[in-house]
Amino acid sequence: MEAVKLGEPESDDEYMAVLSVFSAYKGETVISVEHKRQLWGLLEIHDEEGAVEALDGVDFALSNLPGFYRSRWGEPWAAWPAAMKVAKYLCGAVPSLIAEAMERDLWKSEWHTVHGHQIGKWYIEPETCKQSLEQERPIFDMVFSWCDVEVVDRLNRERALEDEISRLRELLTGIVKDYRLSGHPQLAARLVKKIRIDIPAD
């Protein structure tokens, strides 16, 4: 309870941002944050050796984290300020790992806004996925703000390039189809050969 008194997440977004960092780091197998209301936001260390390795080179030890304590079973825990401190440290120590994992999750969420999301027997409509993404976007933005600016800029450039490639691919696919429909299959074949993309025959 003394650890709880040291603070808790200011919002669900802040909580989810920290949780996303730990998930991106090693799938929460090393560190996570508690979700139960009475312990909400406490830093939970599942793998003490892994946590020490994660904080290698930093100027604080686990025992020096805010609100650090051990449960009656010897499990290490710490307060929410410690969770924030560790999450931001990881974003600075391994920014590519964190930012790229978040970028993949963001891409999936955006893909679902167009194609929907199939979960087992359940299909979630694209419009519902759009609403979910709008709710999740502040979480992505928060984590990206903790990461190295150059890494985020590089990911943005790569994303812009991929979008442009997709746009050009669609444009060229249309041109090839127009050639075929207008009775110029040789021009279509020549263009396909030059740009080296797979164009459906029909």
29-47 per-position pLDDT tens digit = 999 999 988 888 999 999 9
Q: Is 125 in a helix, a strand, or coil?
A: coil
Domain boundaries, the chain: 2-94, 97-114+125-195
pTM for this prediction: 0.71
| Strand residue runs (E) in the chain | 31-33, 43-45, 69-70, 76-78, 117-119, 122-124
Position 167 pLDDT exceeds 80: no
Report yes or no: 87 and 21 within 8 Å, Cβ to Cβ. Answer: yes
Tell me the CA distances in angstroms from 87 to 2, 11, 84, 185, 186, one per residue in order: 21, 16, 5, 57, 57
Query: How many CB atoms sit inside 10 A of residue 42's CB?
Result: 23
- Structure tokens of 170? 């669609």
- Structure tokens of 30? 């090393």
**Higher per-residue pLDDT: 46 or 1:** 46
